[in-house]
Amino acid sequence: MSVTTCPSCHTPAPPGAIFCDHCGYDLRTVAPTAQQPLPPTVVISHAEASEIICPSCQHANIPGSAFCENCGAPLAQAQQPAQPAPQPPPVQAPAGPVNPPGAETLIQQPVLEPTPPSSVVGRLVIQASNVSLAIPPGKQTIVIGREDPVSGVFPDIDLDPHGGHEAGVGRRHAQLILQGAQLYIEDLDSVNGTVVNKQKLAPRQPHLLNHGDELRFGKMVLMYYSS
């Protein structure tokens, strides 16, 4: 069996080739020569190489061909691997909870803890005369009694002008104490005692006071209102 060798690049051409698949030389004027023993056949897998399709005549050429063996067209452009299309960068999901489409964005408001009062608030109303005595602001302890300059006693709420001496109110009769957000009343070892809602208090024992409670200092009756 004869084989055609390209006189230009000395590359053997397959039987029936019209042009050299290496340099494109016209082989129609070259006489075939006796075929030399062929080396062992090397099987090339599809992963290693594939046929090159001529862009001019659509002829399938063997892998590595520089020119089409059918029409002689250059195959350099056909051998270039297709470039993968650029992929868009991944879209990162926003951090935190995502509202469904069309939903309004909810803004988390900080939860504010209620601030306890810093001073005793409210008033005392004398039941007999309906006189309202405001509790002095800015204090956490309010002393109730009768003013006595000779003894140096000046209570925060002076009941002497309202008949406190005749009713048996002591100079330092009782006191209001603010602890946290709760108000207590405490008897200060008074002679005639302190009564809350007709219940006599033990001396120096704070008792929880509520809005509308009735207070009795000796014989004087008062009502406590928190506002």
In this structure, the answer to whether residues 133 and 70 fall within a common structural domain is no
Strand-pair partners of 103: none
pLDDT confidence of residue 150: 92
Q: Which of 22-31, 106-115, 153-162, 177-186 shows the lowest mean pLDDT across its residues?
A: 106-115
Domain count, the chain: 2
Residue 111 lies in a domain: no
In this structure, the answer to whether residues 6 and 75 fall within a common structural domain is yes
Which CATH number fits the domain that encloses residue 148?
2.60.200.20
In this structure, the answer to whether residues 127 and 218 fall within a common structural domain is yes
Q: How far is CA 26 from the centre of its chain?
A: 75
pLDDT tier, 152 (very low <50, low <70, confident <90, very high otherwise): very high
Compute the distance between CA of residue 164 and CA of residue 146 in angstroms, rounded to an integer. 7
Phi, psi (deg, nearest 5) at residue 117: -65, 150
Percent of all residues in the chain with a pLDDT value above 70, rounded to a whole number = 72
pLDDT confidence of residue 6: 81
22, 53, 80 - which closes a domain: 80
pLDDT confidence of residue 96: 54
**Would you say residue 190 has pLDDT above 70?**
yes
In this structure, the answer to whether residues 180 and 127 fall within a common structural domain is yes
In this structure, the answer to whether residues 196 and 132 fall within a common structural domain is yes
pLDDT confidence of residue 55: 83
28, 52, 80 - which closes a domain: 80
Residue 97 lies in a domain: no
User: pLDDT per residue over 71-114, tens digit each?
Assistant: 888 876 555 555 666 676 666 655 555 555 555 555 565 565 66
In this structure, the answer to whether residues 1 and 73 fall within a common structural domain is yes
Look up residue 79 and give its DSSP letter.
H
User: pLDDT per residue over 37-76, tens digit each?
Assistant: 544 444 444 434 568 888 888 888 777 777 887 888 887 6
Q: What is the DSSP string of 171-203?
A: TEEEEEEEETTEEEEEE-S-SS-EEETTEEPPT
Residue 112 lies in a domain: no
Q: What domain range is 177 assigned to?
A: 123-225
In this structure, the answer to whether residues 128 and 35 fall within a common structural domain is no
Residue 107 lies in a domain: no
In this structure, the answer to whether residues 76 and 128 fall within a common structural domain is no
Bigger pLDDT: 48 vs 131: 131
Bigger pLDDT: 49 vs 171: 171
- Across the range 125-152, mean pLDDT stands at 93
Q: Could you give the dihedral angle defined by the CA atoms of residues 165, 167, 173 and 177, in that order, rounded to the nearest 10 degrees?
A: -120
In this structure, the answer to whether residues 136 and 70 fall within a common structural domain is no
Residue 85 lies in a domain: no
In this structure, the answer to whether residues 71 and 147 fall within a common structural domain is no
pLDDT confidence of residue 43: 43
Bigger pLDDT: 80 vs 164: 164
Residue 2 lies in a domain: yes
Residue 108 lies in a domain: no
77's enclosing H/E stretch is helix 76-79
pLDDT confidence of residue 206: 95
80, 113, 147 - which closes a domain: 80
In this structure, the answer to whether residues 56 and 127 fall within a common structural domain is no
